[in-house]
Amino acid sequence: MTYGYVRVSTREQNEDRQLVAMRDFGVTDGNIFLDKQSGKDFQRPAYRKMLRKLKPGDTLIVKSIDRLGRDYDEILEHWRIITKEKLAAIVVLDIPLLDTRQKERDLTGTLIADLVLQILSYVAQTEREFIRQRQAEGIAAAQARGVRFGRPPADRPMLFPEVRGAWERKEISAREAARRLSIDHKTFLSWVGK
């Protein structure tokens, strides 16, 4: 059997380019596994399901090595699991050198393929780290400009001053105050500075 694995990092990203490549290679839609989540680890539902299905002699197709994952050690470990334990082949469409179906490779060809795999795995992880760094820098710069993240603060009901006064005079509890205002009691406590 030939299986395809497709991954995009978020639900908003489009997987069409990878799906077209799988179909062009001859992978049927029923044999394509798709995850829409980060490649930081291999705890992805579709990937885990595909891994369980792989049998000796099967072939796994991925568009590029970073679609498989973005963690250097885990990419190498899962490559080993698929090729050595599962005895399946892997084809990375963007890098023809990473096609383990090529049984006629000599020792030099195998060495070069292993080096390319290690380099590309390193690049995938490094790019993930750069993405996180750029996000953190962008958030810090936006906060320095006064940009606020998260939901806007809720407007306080007109009854708030009256209910707050009753709470401050210990006539009602914070929970009762929150109930009267139809808000969560933690929200009430944050509004009164507790």
Q: Which residues pair with 152 in a beta bridge?
A: none
Q: Which fold has domain 2-141?
A: Rossmann fold (3.40.50)
Q: What is the pTM of this model?
A: 0.61
Cα distances from 154 to residues 44, 90, 134, 146, in angstroms, run 36, 52, 31, 19
**Active site positions, annotated:** 9
Res. 125: pLDDT tops 90: no
pLDDT at residue 153 in the model: 74
Residue span(s) of the chain under CATH 3.40.50.1390 come to: 2-141
Q: How far apart are CA 158 and CA 182, in angstroms?
A: 12
Above pLDDT 90, what percent of the chain? 45
Closest C-alpha among 119, 98, 117, 39 to residue 71: 39
Cβ contact 15:6 at 8 Å: yes
Lowest mean pLDDT across 86-95, 119-128, 129-138, 162-171: 119-128
Q: Which residue is it, tokens 């595909």?
A: 50
pLDDT in tens, 82-117: 988 999 999 999 888 788 886 655 666 666 777 777
